[in-house]
A and B are shown apart, each in its own frame.
Chain A
C-alpha cells in the first residue's frame, strides 16, 4: 500500500496525458478528467505524507527490483513529500482556474495533456532518488512548460517560449556535464550512494567540477541573479493559469536542488556553496525588489517579485541552521500559494480589461466593478509583503528570527530593508487597479475567481493556524540535517 501511495501521485498525471489526448473532442470531459486525476493524486500524496510522518523513514521503491544503488530509486522522504504536497495543491488550483478561464488557450486540444505532463514532471522530480532521473523529469517540465507558453494568447508567447527553452536546454547541458563528472568520479547516480561516497572520499578530481555545473543548473532553474534574465519575460507572456504554476512551482525545482545539494550530496563541505547562496540570495532580493518597482505590467511585477522571494529562500538555505532551513521550507510553501493566487488575480483582471493585457495602462481602474477581487488582491498583497495575520508574515518572521539566531546581521539587515520594497510596489499596483478612475472601463465577463479564492483562503488559514506547517517544516529540517539516516534507509533497506 505504501508503494501505491508513492507511485500514484506520479503515475496519475502521466497516465492522464494520453487519456486526456484521447478525450480531446470532449473539452468539458477532458478538463474534468484532468482535474479528477490531479485531485486523486493529491489525495494519495496526503496518504504518503501520513505514512512518512508516522514512520519518519522514506517510502521507497526500487524500479525493476534492482538493489538500491544499481537501479533507479523512487524515494519520498519528508522533504520530497513536503514539496510534492505543495506542488499538487497549487496544480489542482491551477486546473480549477483553467476550467473557469476565458482565454482561448484552454480550448486547445493539447492544453490539458501538456498541463498534466507538467504536473507529472514536477511530481516525479520531487520523489525520484536518482540524479539522472531528476534530469529526465526536469526536461519533461521544460518542454511542457515551453509548449504551454508557446500556445499562449499573448502574441509574444512564442518568443518567450523560445527564449526560455534555449536557456533551459543550456541548463540541461550543464546538468548532464555535472552528472557525468560525478559519475566518472564516484561511479553512481543514486543520491544516497553518491552522498555516502562523496563523504568517504571528498577529493576525487572532478568533484568540484560536478558541483559547479549542478550549481549553475539549479541557479538557472530557480531564476536566481545572475541567471534570472529569461524569467520575467517568460512568466509574463505565459497564459494566466500556466504562469501561476511557472512562477510558483517550476522555479522551486532549483530550490529543491539546493536543498538536496547542501544537506545531502555535498553535506560535508557545503560551506562554499552556502556562502554563494547567501550572497546571490541577498542580491536577488534587492534586484527583484527594484525590478518590480520599475515595471509597467502586473504579471511582470509579480515575476520580478518571485525573483526577490526566491532570494529569501536561498538566504535561508545558505544560513543552514535547523531554524533557517525550516524557515526556507515554510517560505517555499507559502510563496507557492501566495504567488499562484496573485498571478491568477492579475490574470483575471487582465481578462476583464478592454484589451487582453496585464499592463497597468490597460488594467487601470478595472477593479471598479470587482470589489471582491480587490479584497482578495489586498489580502494577497499583505501576505506577499509579510503582514500579520497572513502566512507571508509567518515565513518572513521565521527567516528573520533564524537570521538573528544565526547572527548573520549584515545579510539580515539588507533583506529586512529590501522586504519593505515589496510593500511599495504591491500597494501601488493595488491602488492603480482598484482606486484610480478609468472612464473606459466596462463590466465585462472574465476568468472566474474560484481558484484564487481557495488559495487566498488557504493563505489566511496558514497564517492564523500555522502550527502544523511550521512543526512539519522543523521536523523536515531536522531530518535533512541528519543525512546519514537517509543514506542508511535507502542503501540498507533496499
Chain B
C-alpha cells in the first residue's frame, strides 16, 4: 500500500509538472490541479497508515491520526476555489487575447 501511494504521488507529480510546462494555458491549469492533488495525497499519506480504529471509537486498537484528513479537506477546498479562479481568469484571457497559447499572452512585455 505504501509503495502504491508513493507511486501514485510520484506519477501525479510528474504528469502535473509535464502539463504545467506546456504552452497551452488550459493544459497548464490542468497541470496545476494534478499537482495539487498529488500534494493532497502526500499530505494524506503522512498519517494514513498509522492506526486501525477511528479517532472517535473506544476500540483498543491503535487510534488513527485524524489531523492529516482535516488538512487534506482544507487543502482540497482551497485548491478548488483557486482552480475556479484560474479558469475564470483563463476565460477572460482567451476572450481578450483570442488565443490559448501562453507565448501569445505577452502584453506586459511592452
A: which residues have CB within 8 A of B?
132, 136, 139, 143, 146-147, 150, 155-156, 158-163, 165-166, 169-170, 172-173, 176-177, 179-180, 183-184, 189, 233, 237
A-B contact pairs, 27 of them (CB 8 A): A132-B71, A132-B74, A136-B78, A146-B89, A150-B89, A150-B92, A155-B96, A155-B107, A158-B92, A160-B108, A162-B25, A162-B86, A162-B90, A162-B105, A165-B82, A165-B86, A165-B89, A166-B28, A169-B36, A170-B20, A176-B39, A176-B42, A179-B43, A180-B42, A183-B46, A183-B47, A183-B71
Report whether A165 and B85 are in contact in the complex, using a CB–CB cutoff of 8 Å.
yes
Q: Which residue of B lies closest to A140 (CB)?
A: B78
Assembly CA distance A150 to B74 (angstroms)? 25
A160-B108, A162-B86, A169-B32 given; 7 more Cβ-contact pairs under 8 Å: A132-B74, A143-B82, A155-B96, A165-B86, A169-B79, A172-B78, A176-B43
Report whether A233 and B108 are in contact in the complex, using a CB–CB cutoff of 8 Å.
yes
Report whether A159 and B108 are in contact in the complex, using a CB–CB cutoff of 8 Å.
yes
Report whether A158 and B96 are in contact in the complex, using a CB–CB cutoff of 8 Å.
yes
Known A132-B74, A143-B85, A176-B39: A162·B93 in contact at CB below 8 Å: yes
Report whether B93 and A159 are in contact in the complex, using a CB–CB cutoff of 8 Å.
yes
Q: Is B10 an interface residue (CB 8 A)?
A: no
Q: Which chain A residues lie closer than 8 Å to B46 at the CB level?
A: 180, 183-184
Assembly CA distance A143 to B36 (angstroms)? 16
Q: Which chain A residues lie closer than 8 Å to B81 at the CB level?
A: 143
Q: Which chain B residues lie closer than 8 Å to A159 at the CB level?
A: 93, 105, 107-108
Q: Which 3 A-B pairs have the closest CB atoms?
A: A184-B46, A156-B107, A162-B89
Report whether B78 and A166 are in contact in the complex, using a CB–CB cutoff of 8 Å.
no
Assembly CA distance A159 to B42 (angstroms)? 31
Assembly CA distance A372 to B8 (angstroms)? 63
Q: Which residue of B lies closest to A147 (CB)?
A: B85
Nearest Cβ on chain B to A159's Cβ, whole angstroms? 5
Known A143-B82, A165-B86: A180·B39 in contact at CB below 8 Å: yes
Assembly CA distance A158 to B90 (angstroms)? 9
Q: Which residue of A lies closest to B71 (CB)?
A: A132
Report whether B89 and A161 are in contact in the complex, using a CB–CB cutoff of 8 Å.
yes
Report whether A169 and B82 are in contact in the complex, using a CB–CB cutoff of 8 Å.
yes
Report whether A166 and B86 are in contact in the complex, using a CB–CB cutoff of 8 Å.
yes
Q: Which chain B residues lie closer than 8 Å to A180 at the CB level?
A: 39, 42-43, 46, 68, 71
Assembly CA distance A184 to B20 (angstroms)? 28
Q: Which chain A residues lie closer than 8 Å to B92 at the CB level?
A: 150, 158
Nearest Cβ on chain A to B26's Cβ, whole angstroms? 12
Q: Which residue of A lies closest to B81 (CB)?
A: A143
Residue of B32, B86, B90, B107 with most partner-chain A CB within 10 A: B107
Assembly CA distance A169 to B36 (angstroms)? 9
Q: Which residue of A lies closest to B105 (CB)?
A: A159
Q: Which residue of B lies closest to A188 (CB)?
A: B67
Q: Which chain B residues lie closer than 8 Å to A183 at the CB level?
A: 43, 46-47, 67-68, 71
Q: Is B75 an interface residue (CB 8 A)?
A: yes
- Fill in one digit per residue for B23-50: 1 if any A CB lies within 8 Å of its CB, else 0: 0010010001001100100110011000
Q: Which chain B residues lie closer than 8 Å to A161 at the CB level?
A: 89
Assembly CA distance A180 to B78 (angstroms)? 16
Report whether A237 and B108 are in contact in the complex, using a CB–CB cutoff of 8 Å.
yes
Q: Which chain B residues lie closer than 8 Å to A146 at the CB level?
A: 85, 89
Assembly CA distance A155 to B89 (angstroms)? 13
Nearest Cβ on chain B to A157's Cβ, whole angstroms? 10
Assembly CA distance A177 to B39 (angstroms)? 7
Q: Which chain A residues lie closer than 8 Å to B68 at the CB level?
A: 180, 183
- Fill in one digit per residue for B43-76: 1 if any A CB lies within 8 Å of its CB, else 0: 1001100000000000000000001100100110
Report whether B39 and A173 are in contact in the complex, using a CB–CB cutoff of 8 Å.
yes
Q: Which residue of B lies closest to A146 (CB)?
A: B85
Nearest Cβ on chain B to A178's Cβ, whole angstroms? 10
Q: Which chain A residues lie closer than 8 Å to B107 at the CB level?
A: 155-156, 159
Q: Which residue of B lies closest to A156 (CB)?
A: B107
Nearest Cβ on chain B to A360's Cβ, whole angstroms? 14
Report whether A173 and B36 are in contact in the complex, using a CB–CB cutoff of 8 Å.
yes
Assembly CA distance A33 to B37 (angstroms)? 39
Q: Which chain A residues lie closer than 8 Å to B96 at the CB level?
A: 155, 158
Assembly CA distance A177 to B89 (angstroms)? 26
Q: Which chain B residues lie closer than 8 Å to A172 at the CB level?
A: 78, 82
Assembly CA distance A16 to B28 (angstroms)? 35
Q: Which chain A residues lie closer than 8 Å to B32 at the CB level?
A: 166, 169-170
Assembly CA distance A35 to B93 (angstroms)? 33
Assembly CA distance A165 to B28 (angstroms)? 13
Q: Which chain B residues lie closer than 8 Å to A184 at the CB level?
A: 46-47
Q: Which chain B residues lie closer than 8 Å to A233 at the CB level?
A: 108
Nearest Cβ on chain A to B44's Cβ, whole angstroms? 9
Nearest Cβ on chain B to A198's Cβ, whole angstroms? 16
Q: Which residue of A lies closest to B91 (CB)?
A: A158
Q: Which chain A residues lie closer than 8 Å to B89 at the CB level?
A: 146, 150, 158, 161-162, 165
Report whether B82 and A158 are in contact in the complex, using a CB–CB cutoff of 8 Å.
no
Q: Which residue of B lies closest to A162 (CB)?
A: B89
Q: Which chain A residues lie closer than 8 Å to B86 at the CB level?
A: 162, 165-166, 169
Assembly CA distance A156 to B36 (angstroms)? 27
